[in-house]
Amino acid sequence: MKTIAKTKLIAFLEALSDDYRVVVPLQQGTEVEMGELDGGRLAVGYRGKTRFSAKECLFPESEVMLTFDNRGAGAVETTEHTPAEKTAVWGVRPCDLAGMATLDAVFLSPPVDTYYYARRANTLLLGLNCHEVGTSCFCRSFAAGPFASSGFDMIFTDVAERFLVESGSEVGARLLEQHGELFAEAGEADRQEAESLRLAAETAFTTTLDVPALLVALQEAFDDGVWEEQAKKCTLCGTCCIVCPTCHCFNVEDVRKTRKLFQRVRYWDSCQFTGFTRMAAENSRSTQGERWRQKIYDKFVYLPAVYDGLLGCTGCGRCLDLCQGNINIVQVLEKVSHGH
Ligand code: SF4
Ligand code: SF4
């Protein structure tokens, strides 16, 4: 275990930028959002979570997959846009690291998503433990936080003027070696401080979810009136899926750039949109209650059934913060778990 002074963090990130595109939390007015390294706005000691999750680093909001060029004299030329850029993401919260484990399961299980695979293989994840818990955070209910135990190349813990740093992979260990002049050996006092921060954070949650009770209750809740009841408040905006670190649905479209140039593009979709399951003959989920139920069942029943118990929620709390219909997912799920 090592330490790095907060004043030296920027030097470390700048050194990384020789080999990687570096993405960090940036101060944007009163919010913190992930973006390309900008020393002036780097949110070194930010509290809580970023407004949007860090999933965009592995699964961008939109991306060009293929280009079809028919401008030449011969056959149509097809180019596949496999991502090759190396990226290092610093400051990823434990709830987002856990979300990436869900994305990995979905995109890297056969049939492997080649675009996600390439980006994942080229991405370094430098996590940042949470020592201050937000009012909407409930990651502890999923053992996804406030401190991360896996899923990172390096993990940082904020201890006053410095960070404690541990590697979680060979690449992380190599980076610590390579930039050894910026890091110092951690002492027993550093370790104890981090441990007391962890214990304090674990007891600071004001939002919790009884996940085992929910998983049992959902077995009998498919026809519960709660789904249509919540749907009355839902504005169908899709924000809950956009901000969620585990939501991974996308749409694919062929876009005409010019008469002879086309691009195949994919972009995030949401099961809360009315057109999500619309087909030529009919829409298999025609009411918002059905769409709301689908979101919950996908996260807590269908995904774990396919991916060995892995849940589609990490308790990040973003959908509580940003729901345009003021729906509190935890209150809804607690109602389901404990029979209204
Ligand atoms: S469902 Fe809500 S609380 Fe759970 S991970 Fe997604 S955005 Fe976060
Ligand atoms: S964020 Fe809220 S209002 Fe918007 S689709 Fe999701 S549940 Fe509905």
DSSP per-residue codes, 218-256? GGG-TT-THHHHHHTT-----HHHHH-SS---EEEEEEE
Q: What integer pLDDT is reported at residue 239 of this predicted model?
A: 97
Please tell me the predicted confidence (pLDDT) of residue 160.
85
Nearest CA to ligand 1 atom 7: 244
* Cα(311)–Cα(238) distance, integer angstroms: 20
Ligand 2 within 6 A of CB of 234: yes
Show the CA angle centred on residue 16, arms to residues 97 and 118, nearest 5°: 55
Give the position, in ligand 1's atom list, of the atom nearest the Cα of 295: 1
Residue of 205, 271, 321, 329 to mutate, ligand 1, most atoms within 8 A of C-beta: 329
What confidence score (pLDDT) does residue 339 get? 75
User: Which residues, judged by CB distance below 6 Å to any ligand atom, belong to the binding site of ligand 1?
Assistant: 243-246, 313-319, 329
C-beta separation of 24 from 17 below 8 A: no
Burial 81-94 (b: 16+ CB within 10 A, else e): eebeeebbbbbbbb
Dihedral sign for Cα atoms in the order 130, 131, 134, 139 = positive
Report the nearest-CA residue for atom 8 of ligand 2. Answer: 234
Q: Can you list the positions of beta strands (E) in 132-268?
A: 154-159, 162-167, 184-185, 250-258, 261-268
Angle at which helix 94-108 crosses helix 114-121, to 10 degrees, equals 140
Per-residue confidence of the chain (340 residues) as pLDDT tens digits?
999 999 999 999 999 999 999 999 999 999 999 999 999 999 998 988 999 999 999 999 999 999 999 999 899 999 999 999 999 999 999 999 999 999 999 999 999 999 999 999 999 999 999 999 999 999 999 999 999 999 999 999 999 899 999 999 999 999 999 999 999 999 999 999 999 999 999 999 999 999 999 999 999 999 999 999 999 999 999 999 999 999 999 999 999 999 999 999 999 999 999 999 999 889 999 999 999 999 999 999 999 999 999 999 999 999 999 999 999 999 999 999 987 6
Q: What is the pLDDT of residue 86?
A: 97
Cα distances (Å, whole numbers) of residue 281 to 73, 96, 284, 293, 339: 40, 38, 9, 22, 37
Which pLDDT belongs to residue 326?
Answer: 96
Question: Is the Cβ atom of 238 under 6 angstroms away from ligand 2?
Answer: yes
Confidence (pLDDT) at 210:
96
Ligand 1 centre distance from Cα of residue 50 (Å):
13
Cα-to-centroid distance, 243 and ligand 1 (Å): 8
Per the DSSP assignment, residues forming a β-bridge with 258 are 261
pLDDT value of position 340 = 63
Distance, CA of 253 to CA of 269 (rounded, Å): 12
Give the residues across from 28 on adjacent strands: 31
Return the residue matching tokens 């139920």. Answer: 293
**Rounded Cα–Cα distance for residues 43 and 50 (Å):** 10
Residue 338: the pLDDT is: 85
pLDDT at 300: 98
* Ligand with minimal distance to 232 CA: 2
User: Residue 236 CA: which ligand is closest?
Assistant: 2
- Ligand 2 atom 4: the closest Cα is on which residue? 237
